Amino acid sequence: IMILISTITRLVSTAGKANPWSTLLTSKQLVPLDDISDKLHDDQEAIKLASSDYGNMVKESPTAVLYPFSVYDIISLVKSSYNSYVPFGIAARGNGHSTRGQAMVRNGVVVDMGSFRRQRTGKGITFSVSQDPSIRYYADVGGEQLWIDVLLASLERGLAPVSFTDYLYLTVGGTLSNGGIGGQTFRYGPQISNVHEMDVVTGKGDFITCSPDKNTELFHAVLGGLGQFGIITRARISLEPAPKRVKWVRLLYNDFSTFTKDQARLISINGMKQKNALDYLEGMLLMHHGSINNWRSSFFPMSDHPKIISLITKHRILYCLEVAKYYDDSSENNVDKELQDILQGLNYIPGLYYEKNVSYVDFLNRVRSGELQLQSQGLWDVPHPWLNLFIPKSRILDFDSGVFKDIVLKGKITTGPVLVYPMNRSKWDDRMSASVPDEDVFYTVGFLHSSGFDNWEAFEAQNKKIMQFCEDAGIKVKQYLPHYSTQDDWKNHFGSKWKSFQESKYKFDPRMILSPGQRIFSDNK
């Protein structure tokens, strides 16, 4: 059928039509796309970009890529599909930083949200102060905006968002479709907990403003909704006065139980405090065959490398607790004392305390220099068979012994950072689509592998082994940035939320048009 379609398309275009996209041919009907035909592209460059992502493991070619100039172009595209006899799939592509084709569409149209950024159209970034004291400062930002740009524009006004991902070259629409987690989540919640309002184009082509008070079902469905209910064209993001500098600390442990106990204690005390609390907490594994570059590159002083390496040799894994406390001119004199008080009583290996003092923006943008380095070596665009999990606190020690100390150490293939840090469930809103474990505290574990083009399947096999171990041991893990192959797995993932997730799909995208690359309601056909 597709050969026939493409032949007909070419015939139509060579028969003297001004633009081949005056119609997008679906198998049964010609869909009029006159008003956006000049924004649809099927040149090699456009198709190639939209057929790949950061994961570099999945390839799906769309029929065309929309470079929207305004929100009306998106509305027009979605309505065309919705009203056609056989609808075609449509996916917003934020910055293509998914790892498994979640922003791809086979034989449909990818909406390149970056087009708004390049043309400086879309919603941009605008700032306001609210009369409502519970909100105060906020920014209205286009769904296409990169978090780095939101941060830099906010800092010009002395403000900043409160919750970040580790890497800032991700879009607002992309992270809000997943959750947006990082070291601030234990205290401020994920990025989806810091949104007041959104404009969304649903799968019917309706343009709807939603918030916790208005069109609430759509609001909650979209946040963590994996792009299934609408394309976010604007989000109203919480801001707070920005600090200037950061005390950034890493502490090393050789015992997982002690490490996780200290992490849990810190998030329990600091997660609930308004003032004088830690602002950031994460953690990671240090292993010989794992993240050595990670720490060797910057944080630890060269003079301590031999000591750290010999400890890794001895213990096989070291655990690195990472915390940060922000400060500015007015709090500069107290920050050391406050930090000391917060970290008092922690049981890290005596003497293995490392501290840096950096600017706030350098801290938040810390992953960028690593990215540029990898890019210059051609190592950024390799396959990334990532696995991100949420693990209930009650089973984190079982996970350590079955996964880190067994599968990972024996496998000897883990490359790239392995992150481990806890979050407070109370900072997540259960009405939102994002699915998290049913315990007050859960950990995220991120295996952020980089592999070669010829061996990523070995990493996938290890990922499968980890999932199988969890299932056999009855550890109720949830995937973050989830990818499953059957609808039963998706049902299991969403658990008690599946029914409402499905109902919202029928309501807001009844023809199953949006983000088919997630493979929840279709096989991306």
Active-site residues, by number, are 97, 166, 282
Eight-state DSSP code of residue 430: T
Which residues, in sequence order, are bridge partners of residue 441? 424
Alpha-carbon span 130 to 3, nearest angstrom: 55
Alpha-carbon span 232 to 227, nearest angstrom: 8
DSSP state string for 245-258:
EEEEEEEEES-HHH
Shortest distance, position 266 Cβ to ligand FAD, whole Å = 19
Q: Which is nearer to ligand FAD, 93 or 395 (CB)?
A: 93
Question: Using alpha carbons only, what angle is made at residue 407 by residues 405 and 413, rounded to the nearest 5 degrees?
Answer: 105
Shortest distance, position 336 Cβ to ligand FAD, whole Å = 28
Contact indicator for 46, 65 with CB cutoff of 8 Å: yes
**Token representation of residue 286:** 């240090």
Q: Which is nearer to ligand FAD, 170 or 312 (CB)?
A: 170
Classify each residue of 444-460 as buried b or exposed e, where b means 16 or more C-beta atoms within 10 Å of its C-beta. bbbbbbbbeeeebeebb
Of the candidates 53, 81, 56, 54, the one whose C-alpha atom is nearest the C-alpha of residue 66 is: 81
Q: Exposure of 523 by Cβ count < 10 A (0-12 exposed, 13-18 middle, 19+ buried)? A: exposed
Alpha-carbon span 522 to 525, nearest angstrom: 7
Q: Which is nearer to ligand FAD, 463 or 515 (CB)?
A: 515
Of the candidates 122, 444, 92, the one whose C-alpha atom is nearest the C-alpha of residue 282 is: 444
Contact indicator for 25, 4 with CB cutoff of 8 Å: no
Alpha-carbon span 312 to 35, nearest angstrom: 62
Chain residues in the site for ligand FAD (CB under 6 A):
54, 91-98, 102-103, 113, 143, 165-167, 170-171, 173-175, 177-182, 226-227, 231-232, 481, 515, 517-518
Q: Which is nearer to ligand FAD, 56 or 270 (CB)?
A: 56
Contact indicator for 513, 78 with CB cutoff of 8 Å: yes
Residues 6+ apart with CB under 8 A from 18: 37
Shortest distance, position 472 Cβ to ligand FAD, whole Å = 28
Shortest distance, position 21 Cβ to ligand FAD, whole Å = 21
Shortest distance, position 22 Cβ to ligand FAD, whole Å = 26
Q: Which is nearer to ligand FAD, 308 or 478 (CB)?
A: 478
Shortest distance, position 197 Cβ to ligand FAD, whole Å = 14
DSSP state string for 370-417:
HHHHHHHTT-TTS----EEEEEEGGGHHHHIIIIIIIIIHHH----S-
